[in-house]
Amino acid sequence: MPDANHNHQDMDLLLQLASEAGAIAMNWFGKDPEVWMKEGQSPVSEADFAVDNFLKEKLLEARPDYGWLSEETEDTDLRLEARRTFVVDPIDGTRGFIQGLKQWCVSIAVVENGRPVAGILECPALGQTISAIKGKGTTLNGAAITTQQTSRDSGAVRVTGPRNLQNSVALDHHGGVEKTPFVPSLAYRLAMVAMGEVDLALARASAKDWDLAAADLIVHEAGAMLSNLEGNPLVYNCRDVRHGALVGCAVPRRNEMLDLARLAINKQD
């Protein structure tokens, strides 16, 4: 089967199961789910486990030859032998989900040869489905979107990310900075670049494959970029799934945004 057709068939599967997974998560949203603390004091809720179990069963039932990498499943080396791997965060933005904030999502990507070829962010509390297929663009609720439709070439920088990084950008950018309120999901913060809502999304070192893979494809297919601080694209489904500091931005302001990101993040080191 040609890869292009394969990608579309995988996306059909992701659209169906992400919608069902989002509905499962909504059963707990705003209803005080049971919560545990993982290593590093990161919360996980019963909703995370329910969505993870559902997606692992259904996705691997449909694609038994694919690998599996998820935040809430113990990792194994089996995924390294698969041609394609599902990379899943059952609820990206769990802390916000627990607090009743709406900017969380079910994140699912299909990764092949180190890069995502299909990806979806299902955001049921916001009524948004953001998806992308390699070479076929990004859609929001089925309508095509591109960063160039709304991004600006100059003026104030609209920035999202940890508050201390936003404050650092404000000190270094003389054209002004528009800060965003706290957005609990890193994947959704990156999607805000794709949707033209911000010019710059920042992330400190520590993000994992499941935080990034789907959003990465969404950003790139919308005409923007996600990279490390050297401007290089990310590689997924390696043995080590951790990534360094990251920057997402519209392509026309790439050099300016990379410079601001380096300054802001280096101040925190």
Please report the domains of the chain, with CATH numbers, ordered by start residue: 3-145 (3.30.540.10), 147-268 (3.40.190.80)
pLDDT for res 168: 85
| Stretch among 104-118, 124-138, 145-159 having the lowest mean pLDDT | 145-159
Decide: 191 and 185 in contact? Cβ < 8 Å. Answer: no
Task: Answer whether residue 221 shows pLDDT above 50.
Answer: yes
CA 172, CA 1: separation in Å to the nearest integer?
50
Q: In the predicted model, what is the mean pLDDT of residues 57-61?
A: 98
Q: Could you tell me if 194 and 155 are in contact, meaning their C-beta atoms sit under 8 angstroms apart?
A: no
List all residues 6 or more positions away from 235 whose beta carbon is below 8 Å from its beta carbon.
Answer: 114, 115
Give the model's pLDDT for residue 144.
97
Tokens of 243: 């990534």
pTM to 2 decimal places:
0.95
Pairing of strands 143-145, 200-203: unpaired
Residue 18's φ and ψ, nearest 5 degrees, are -65, -40
> Do 125 and 176 touch, CB atoms closer than 8 A?
no
pLDDT of residue 124: 98
CA 79, distance to chain mean position in Å, is 20
What pLDDT score does 150 carry?
Answer: 46
State the pLDDT at residue 2: 53
Question: In the numeric block, which tokens belong to residue 238?
Answer: 């390696």
Give the residue carrying structure tokens 């194994």: 76
Q: Which two tokens stand for residue 12?
A: 């059909």
pLDDT tens readout for residues 90-119: 999 999 999 999 999 999 999 999 999 999
Asked whether residue 55 carries a pLDDT value surpassing 80, the answer given is yes
- The upper half-sphere exposure of residue 134, i.e. CA atoms within 13 Å in the direction of its Cβ, equals 18
Q: 17 with 59: CB under 8 angstroms?
A: yes
Identify the band that residue 266 occupies on the pLDDT scale cut at 50, 70 and 90: confident
**What's the burial of 266, exposed, middle or buried (CB within 10 Å: 0-12/13-18/19+)?**
exposed
Given this model, what pLDDT does residue 169 score?
85
